[in-house]
Amino acid sequence: MTRHTTYPTRRCSLDMASVLLVYGTSEGQTEKIAHHVAGVLVGRGHEVELVHGRHLPESLAPARYDAVVVGDSVHGGRHHAYVRRWVEANRDVLASRPSGFFQVSLSAASERSESVAASRALVDEFLEGADWSPDHVGDFGGALVYSQYGPVQRFVLKRIAGREGGDTDTARDYEYTDWGEVTAFAEAVAADLDDVRHT
């Protein structure tokens, strides 16, 4: 799993913004989404520093960036503690520049409205607990990666998926991410950066 990636833009100009993207992931879907967001931002002419929240370098200074995006996955109704701690420790910096937050969960892609509402409630709970009001918020469907789970986790997630009307064939992996939604989120962040750079 990649821990730290820099996406330099292909064009360097005064309109280029630097973006820090910190993410938390367990099975890798949030990392995949983070790379997609980074790709969109780079395509719009910005530079992105992509860092796994568990492996943040001591030299990392979020105040050096023009914008910050944070992504995290939910497991058992909980976000990663290391992501929460980082957001809480840097809330003043996050509040002082364009920012975005996206959550990744299976519930976000559920066909049951109550499950989708529960996923949105977890987003609100995270942001309220961190005392952070990002400019852009996304709640994206995740993935069932049965091939990566141990026997117990595979059994538990199969039962949860069955209860939610999801996929239960453990011989396959399933992706529920709506990439159009992810792209729209990234484009909205990029639009903010364009506005900032042209004022």
Task: Please state the domain extents for the chain.
Answer: 4-142+178-197, 144-176
* Section 95-124 average pLDDT: 93
pTM of the model: 0.88
HSE of 57, CA atoms in CB hemisphere, 13 A: 11
4-142+178-197 belongs to CATH 3.50.50.60: no
Percent over 90 (pLDDT), the chain: 70
* Section 162-181 average pLDDT: 90
- pLDDT on residue 110: 83
Which amino acid makes up residue 156?
V
DSSP labels for 124-187?
HHHHHHHT---SEEEEEE-EE-GGGS-HHHHHHHHHHHHHTT----TTS-EE---HHHHHHHHH
What gap in Å lies between CA 129 and CA 4, rounded to an integer?
27
Instruction: Give the tens place of pLDDT for each residue, 44-97.
Output: 999 999 999 998 988 899 999 999 999 999 988 899 999 999 999 999 999 999
CB 85 within 8 A of CB 129: no
CB 72 within 8 A of CB 108: no
> pLDDT category, 8, cuts 50, 70, 90?
low
